[in-house]
Amino acid sequence: MTQRALSGLRVLDLSRVLAGPFCTQILGDLGAEILKIEKPGEGDDTRKWGPPYLKDAQGHDTHESAYYLSCNRNKRSVAIDIKHPQGQKLIHKLIAQSDVLIENFKVGGLEKYGLAYSQIKDEFPRLIYCSITGFGQNGPLASEPGYDFLAQGMAGLMAATGPADGRPTKAGVAVSDIFTGLYAAIGILAALNHRDKTGQGQHVDVALLDCTLATMTNIAQYYLTSRQLAPRVGNAHSTIVPYQDYPTRDSHIIIAVGNDPQFERFATHLGHAEWAQDPRFIHNQNRVQNRDALNALITPILKTKTTQQWIDGLYAIDVPCGPVQNMKDVFGMAQIAARAMKITLPHQKAPQPIDLVGSPLKLSQTPVSYERAPPTLGADTEDVLSAKLGLDPVQLKALKEQGVIG
């Protein structure tokens, strides 16, 4: 079996919803053992965030929503009630055998359970403890609850998104959660590298607001450089032209001209080589200043052919372009199949293997692998507590009867 990059690493996952689970799914794909701690009888909130839900053999809805399935593969579900003193003891014993703990409770939310970083760092000095919150561990908003939608609005993403003359718009998916999950994974890996050198664990503190602002890149720097706000330009680009979608005879095409030579080839292909010498359009800065005039020339021409006809011609002359696709189109692409971006895994509640989105990480020596479909609630509780903590059937039965485990 091929060695996996994070084989031998154990992660105790006390997070739920999206940012934390997205992070731990990445780590799980890379080989880490992920123990997903869930509340008995309830589990991760997203299990109920449907429809759609996974169907069982009789065609009935299960408690596995598409949302939950999207970010919980390669994990084991261990149902432990951390509000119960016995549950807290079990968590402490699992921490002693873990490399990483990740949580997304409100700041201070784990103190009452004896599981805050300040309470356990001396007992477990090698532990990497990652906290995901809306606003971070310090600052005037630290105690406030944080959600993806709030982060998109407060970090400037919504103000930069949407039609120029329309309302500010959030992204179609919870990108602030996704950004934060990615940064959390990076922070954890950096902390593990530091531990390998020094033997010391540390606290990784990531916030939705911070991570969303960090991803605003050129839009944020536009303001810092000029003290002016970048204009909201819908599907266009604030500082590159032409770089947007245009209507064609049958749908829409994205034109993404990134430099002057590409523009010259594009203009020539449209039958107007003179545009590349026009003082209004000769360089990108001129095209940005004369965006409306150029678009008025481009738009009627692109409407004369189908999207595919334009793509075929523009690909041939190395002008970046592409169609606007829905998910059915995306998963029908030969490119997506070639990149193994749709995978299938057997699931204990489904009559057939289920489809999932694959990992975008392609490592030549330590490739990702897919060992487990997203687990049902508490599916691995007894196995994990028996194997890791040596609990026997009598002890497990007693804990279940007390409501400590599920």
Residues annotated as part of the active site:
177
Residue 155: closest CA among 231, 215, 102, 112: 215
Pairing of strands 100-103, 10-14: parallel
How does 37-57 read in b/e, with b if 16+ C-beta sit within 10 Å? Answer: bbbbeebbebbeebeebbbee
Catalogue the long-range contacts made by 312-315 (C-beta closer than 8 Å, 24 or more residues apart).
313/269, 314/255, 314/266, 314/269
Structure tokens belonging to residue 373: 């479909």
DSSP structure class, residue 45? G
Q: Would you list the DSSP string of 110-139? A: TGGGT-SHHHHTTT-TT-EEEEEESS-SSS
Structure tokens belonging to residue 194: 């530091």
What totals of helices (H) and strands (E) does the chain contain, helices first? 16, 13
Q: How far is CA 208 from CA 17, 44, 104, 199, 211, in A?
A: 13, 19, 11, 29, 5
The alpha carbons of the chain give a radius of gyration, in whole angstroms, of 25
DSSP structure class, residue 108? T
Structure tokens belonging to residue 300: 């009627």
Identify whether the C-beta of residue 192 lies closer than 8 Å to the C-beta of residue 5.
no
Structure tokens belonging to residue 119: 């309470």
